[in-house]
Amino acid sequence: MAAGKSALRMAGTGALALLALAGCKREEITEYTIPKETYSASAAAMPAGHPPQHAPIHWALPAGWKEVPASGMRVASFTVPGENGQSADVSIVPLPSSASDELTNVNRWRNELGLGPITAELVAASGQDVTVCDAQGRLFDIAGEQPDSQKQYVERTLAAMAEHGGQMWFFKMRGPDALVAGEKQRFIAFLNSIDFHADSAAHEPTTAANPSSNASSAGSGRLPGGSPQWQVPEGWEAEQPGMMVLVAFRAGGAQVTVSPPFGSDFGGLRANLNRWRGQVGLPPVAEADLPQQTAKLDLGGTEAIVADMTGKDLQNGGSARQIVVVVPQGGQTWFYKIKGDEASVSAQKEAFLAFIKSAKYP
């Protein structure tokens, strides 16, 4: 854990160390260009061999719920009003079937509420069966214990997952504890109303793949203005990108990914940092801790944010490290990530930073 803390505390002079790493002893590099005529974010978001679109989805909207514009990975978003101006957020997100691990997902949702991880046995006992279209899904009801530092209330999450058409569909409600608990039965009724059949008479939403949607959001179609170019370090091997990944590489024992760009509103640094920390078994941090848990990286007029996290692999208990670099560019936000065991990521850190610095955006 001490190693993890030292890796994370990179503010101030630590940022200069990052720049020094990126500028010395570079490996040989080759030019890598994404052919813009072959890329579409919807296609890159799907697993290999899958059609570049998700199934039609319909629902019966509970009274009082309001549909709002979807963004990022969502195909639909809703808000549920409560008392005193409070509200709960509801989302629908399709991911590859490989995202079906209940233990990983439940512990991620627990981390979002400031809760620690639980065992696979407790996860199995805590879920309940629900019906989503013609599939059996699992619903998890997770209540927080302490108010969020930015909010004056304890939060609660209802999250369901069900497989359909080779994808894992996630349905999630998060908001004030009492409000979400009071909406549970209507949330279940909402799940029961889901229909993936094209000829359904129920409501069909506007999805993120619709050309009229926000073009700056991932999943919203072809990248405006074309794709970036990078110089890829020698020895890195291109891999098939998965869901919400633009390009992927195998770098020794580590994996490097670049996500399609999000709009400037990508959910906030703290929320994302805590999600990344949860992926390596680290506890969430408060807003006031962000300067100590991140560093800045000068990319020649653009200031990127670096989060370096060392923890454990949630699957095998071994060492795990990931470095995420958040790059604002032209009103969009790019996410670069390298992850693997601690030794593999350390060996590739210099090449990873050089790769990011080589990016030429259209």
Integer Cα distance of 202 and 271 in angstroms: 34
Instruction: Provide the pLDDT for residue 264.
Output: 57
Instruction: State pLDDT tens for residues 8-32.
Output: 333 333 333 333 333 333 334 344 4
Residues 239 and 314 in one domain: yes
Instruction: List beta partners, residue 332.
Output: 263, 329
Residues 109 and 223 in one domain: no
Final residue belonging to a domain, choices 163, 193, 223: 193
Reduce the DSSP state of residue 289 to 3 states and report it: helix
Query: Got the DSSP string for 310-355?
Result: EEE-TTT-SEEEEEEEEEEETTEEEEEEEEE-HHHHHHHHHHHHHH
Say if residue 132's pLDDT is above 80. Answer: yes
Which residue type sits at 222? R
Integer Cα distance of 117 and 283 in angstroms: 9
CB 290 within 8 A of CB 9: no
- The answer to whether residue 86 is domain-embedded is yes
- The answer to whether residue 309 is domain-embedded is yes
Joined tokens for residue 266: 């990508």
Instruction: State pLDDT tens for residues 236-260.
Output: 998 877 656 788 899 999 999 998 7
Joined tokens for residue 146: 């302490």
Final residue belonging to a domain, choices 140, 160, 193: 193
Instruction: Provide the pLDDT for residue 309.
Output: 95
Residues 147 and 13 in one domain: no
Question: Residue 195 gets which letter from DSSP?
Answer: B
Look over the chain and give the mean of its residue pLDDT values, rounded to a whole number. 76
Within 10 Å of residue 294's Cβ, how many Cβ atoms? 24
Instruction: State pLDDT tens for residues 163-183.
Output: 887 888 999 999 999 999 999
Instruction: Provide the pLDDT for residue 141.
Output: 96
Residues 170 and 258 in one domain: no
Mean pLDDT of 269-287: 86
Instruction: Provide the pLDDT for residue 35.
Output: 36
Which residue type sits at 171? F
Reduce the DSSP state of residue 89 to 3 states and report it: strand
Domain that holds residue 153: 66-193
Reduce the DSSP state of residue 362 to 3 states and report it: coil
Residues 292 and 323 in one domain: yes
Indicate the pLDDT class of residue 293, thresholds 50, 70 and 90: very high
Mean pLDDT of 261-271: 71
3-state secondary structure 109-169: HHHHCCCCCCCHHHHHHHCEEEEECCEEEEEEEEECCCCCCCCCCCEEEEEEEEEECCEEE
Instruction: State pLDDT tens for residues 106-123.
Output: 999 999 998 999 999 999
Beta-strand pair 237-239/135-143: unpaired
Taking the model in full, what pTM does it have? 0.47
Instruction: Provide the pLDDT for residue 362.
Output: 76
